[in-house]
Amino acid sequence: MRITLRLAGFVLAGLATFLVGVFFTRALVQRHREPSAWQVLLSFENQDLAGLDEKSTDVLHRAMTGVTGHLGEYRISSFAPRIFRTITNTSGEKRYILVEESPLVFIPGNASLRVHVFDTAGRLLNEQEFNTGNRIFLNSIRVRRIETISSEALVVQGEYFLSGRPRRQYYVLSGNQISLIYLEQDGLLVDTNDYQNPHMTVGPRVQRSVDEWEKALHSADDVEVLTALLWLGGHHWEGQPAPYDEDKSEAEKVSVSLSSEQVRKRLFELSQSKNFWIKAAVQPIISKMMLAEPSH
């Protein structure tokens, strides 16, 4: 009798161990089979993220939470996903970008974008948030190759409130950093950026020293040149009484740069550039310089 009970105990213990093993094995297999947040996000590549049904949107939001770390935000945030796709940076490296939009709701006001940059393995490399212009409604966000700069660009198109005039913004991925390089209005004319009023500034704000801006202007890289021209040709604080929003030391970098003989010589050289964007962007700067010169 004792032997029978002992055998029964061994059998039950063995059975319990077996069942526990099966349970954990199945759990591990199931966990292994479940796609990662990055794999789920990849399934939405090149889709119209603004046109998803409710179930797909919920799946997308969970995946975005997993890869961006914005825990639970996507149920209450004003940012909504717009595109997720590849882009090649100016060094020729493949990256993924997830672009979200916070649309213009109130007038006066701004729409804004938040851009996450990932490597091909899903590692988050950078996150930037910036305005896209005062009273501008966005109606298109896409990536396309721009032959003018021989690179892919994030092209953001919108319309100014009431006028309906088209405005385009061209951003490139320099390394892992989104940089605004050109503003266009009416499909052709170069547009200026407003740095004096931060709430009206388009794109990420760039902090550089005078030497760094001048180095960019003299660069053989058209993207660097365009970045410098956009800054030099922008609307900056020019000594008027307060209130003004741009930091005085930042604004004074422009006048210091434009007073440099080397910079002025370089600007006239660029006015003969074969690159249409460079030629268009430098003309307003030269005109402003010439108007500022004392008449004889």
Residue by residue, pLDDT tens for the chain (296 residues) are: 555 555 455 545 555 554 545 454 454 444 557 899 999 999 999 999 999 999 999 999 999 999 998 865 655 568 899 999 999 999 999 999 999 999 988 777 889 999 999 999 999 999 999 999 888 889 999 999 999 999 999 999 998 877 667 899 999 999 999 999 999 988 778 999 999 888 889 999 888 999 999 999 999 999 999 999 999 999 988 777 666 677 888 889 999 999 999 999 999 999 999 999 999 999 999 988 887 676 55
Burial (CB < 10 A; 0-12, 13-18, 19+), residue 161, is middle
In angstroms, rounded to a whole number, what is the distance separating the alpha carbons of residues 62 and 44? 12
Chain-centroid distance of CA 289 in Å reads 32
In angstroms, rounded to a whole number, what is the distance separating the alpha carbons of residues 230 and 241? 25
Task: Identify the DSSP state of 240.
Answer: P
In angstroms, rounded to a whole number, what is the distance separating the alpha carbons of residues 274 and 8? 91
What pLDDT is attached to residue 23? 52
Helix H or strand E segment including 110: strand 110-118
pTM: 0.85
